[in-house]
Chains A and B, each alone.
Chain A
C-alpha cells in the first residue's frame, strides 16, 4: 500500500527520452513540469528498458538550479521495469510499483504502448488494473481509444476478420483500462464514446496541453535559405511520408519554384522498423530531401524554428497531436489531413492550417503551396497556432492531475496534499 509523509510520490509509467517509444516527448514535458509542483516530493519514472549504452538522466539537486525551472525540483528516481513487446510487462510494472510505494500512479499510454504484437500490447494494458487492485490510486492517460483507431493504418488488422477479432479484443482491453480509478482522455468525443459504450463513470477530459510555457511571440519567418517543409514524428504506421515525398516532387517541378527542402525529422515507429530507410533509398534521386534520424530533445527547437511549414501526413488519427502543439508554440503554419476526428479536435483547440485529402499528393502539394507561396498567409496561420498553443500549458494540465490524485486519495481516506506555503522538505523557490 502507498505510504507518505509530506507531499506526493508520483509514479509515472511511460516511455521517456532517450527512449524512443511513442509518447516519450509527452512524458518528457509532463515529468519536467510535475517536478516543479510543490505538492510533489518525488517522481518515480517506471520506464522501459533502454538499448545497451543508453541511460536516463535527470538533473541532480545541485544541477537543477541551472535549469529554466529553477531550484527545488522534485527528484526523479528511474526504475526500468518493462520492455516493448515483452509479455510480462504487467507483473513487472506491478512489482516495481510495490517496490517504489508511490502515493499515486499515472500511466501515460496508448493502445500500442507495450507492444506491436496483439498479445504483448494487450497484456501490458492490464497493468493499470493490477496496480489499482494492489491499492494504489491509479490514473490512465489514454492518448487514443480503440474505437477511433484505423487498425490497418496503425499496423494491426491485415484482414477484415482479423480486424473484427482485434476490435473485440480491444473492447476487452478497454474494460481492463477502465478498471483504473480514472481514465483521462484528451478529447471530449473520446470521453463521450467510453462513457456511452462502456457506461464508464470514471472517464474525464484532460486537455493535451502545450509543451512550452506561453512566451513572447516567436519569429514567424523561417531563416534565410531554402524553405523547409518539415514533418516530425515516428513514421511508418499512421504517419506515412510516401504522399509527402510525391507532393514534394510536384512542388519542385513547378515553374519558378522557390528553393525547397523536405525535412523528415524523426524515426521509425516501433511498429514499423525499417520504414524510413526503405523510403530514403527509394527517394535517393530527389534533391533537397533530408532524413534527420532521431532528434535529440535539445535539437527540437532548431528543427521547428527552421521550418517554413509543418506537415502532418497522417492517414488516421490517434487523438490530439503533440507535434501540432509544438509547431504552434514555434508559430508555425500547419498542413493537416482532412480526417474528421483530427480536424474536429484541432479546431476545438483553436489551431488552424491548410487541409489536404489523405493519400492525395496533388492535394497535399496544393495545400503546402498555399502556405509557402503567401508569406502573409503563412504568418497568419503561424500566429493563430501560436495563440492556440499558448492557451493551456502542460504545466496547468499537470495541476489537474494532481487535483485528481488528491481527490482519489481523499476518497480513500488518505491525507490531503493541498499546496502548502513552502515547497516542502526539499526547499527551493522563493
Chain B
C-alpha cells in the first residue's frame, strides 16, 4: 500500500492507497504518530483510494482518533468507497467517527 500525506494549514491529511490491512496499517499509524509529534492535533484520513480495510486498519484509525481527541483535536474520515463504508456500518464505527463525503467538508468541519 502506498500512502501520501500532506499538510493543509495545521491539519494533517493522510491518503492511504489500495488495501489497508494488518500488513500496512503500521505505515498509517506511523504517519499519525508523526503528525502528533509535530503537534498537529487534527487529522483527516482520506479513504478515497482505499478499496479494502480490515479490523487492524479500523483499530489503527480508532487509536488515531483517540490520540487526536486526547490532544483536544479530532480525526475525520472522508471519501469512503462503498465496500469500506459497509465495514464501518457493520462495526457501527460509522457512529463513532465523523465521516464526510468530501475532503473539503471534512476540512470545513474543523473550521466550524
Contacts and interface: CB of A to CB of B under 8 A. Distances in A.
Indicate the size class of the contact surface on chain B. 10 to 19
A182 B92 contact: yes
A206 B96 CA distance: 14
Given A188-B90, A206-B91, A391-B56, A419 B69 contact: yes
Contacts of A418: 69
Interface in B17-72: 22, 54-56, 58-59, 62-63, 66, 69-72
Nearest to B65: A403
B109 interface: no
B95 interface: yes
B69 A204 contact: no
Contact of A421 (B62, B71, B95): B71
A349 to B, nearest CB: 9
Interface stretch (A94-102, A229-237, A392-400): A392-400
Nearest to A393: B59
Interface string A379-391: 0000000010011
A204 B55 contact: no
Interface string A306-322: 00000000000000000
A190 to B, nearest CB: 11
B90 A205 contact: yes
A418 B67 CA distance: 10
A74 to B, nearest CB: 16
A403 B61 CA distance: 12
B3 interface: no
A331 B55 CA distance: 21
B1 interface: no
Contacts of B7: none
A207 B72 CA distance: 28
B61 to A, nearest CB: 11
A396 B93 contact: no
B55 A421 contact: no
A407 B62 contact: no
Q: Is the interface of A mostly helix, strand, loop or mixed?
A: mixed
B91 A205 contact: yes
A406 B59 CA distance: 17
B62 A399 contact: yes
Nearest to A350: B22
B93 A403 contact: yes
Contacts of A407: 92, 95-96
B63 A406 contact: no
B63 A400 contact: no
A420 interface: yes
Contacts of A421: 70-72
A296 B48 CA distance: 48
Contacts of A207: 55
A176 B66 CA distance: 33
A152 interface: no
Interface string A398-430: 011001101100000000001111000000000
B90 A404 contact: no
A204 B86 CA distance: 11
A396 B59 contact: yes
Given A206-B91, A207-B55, 19 more contacts: A38-B70, A204-B90, A204-B91, A205-B90, A350-B22, A392-B55, A392-B56, A396-B59, A396-B62, A397-B59, A399-B66, A400-B58, A403-B62, A404-B92, A404-B95, A404-B96, A406-B96, A407-B92, A421-B70
Q: What 9 A-B pairs come out closest when comparing CB atoms?
A: A396-B59, A403-B96, A204-B92, A391-B22, A207-B55, A418-B69, A205-B90, A407-B95, A419-B70
Interface of A: 38, 182, 188, 191, 204-207, 350, 387, 390-392, 396-397, 399-400, 403-404, 406-407, 418-421
6 contacts: A204-B91, A391-B55, A399-B59, A399-B63, A399-B66, A404-B95
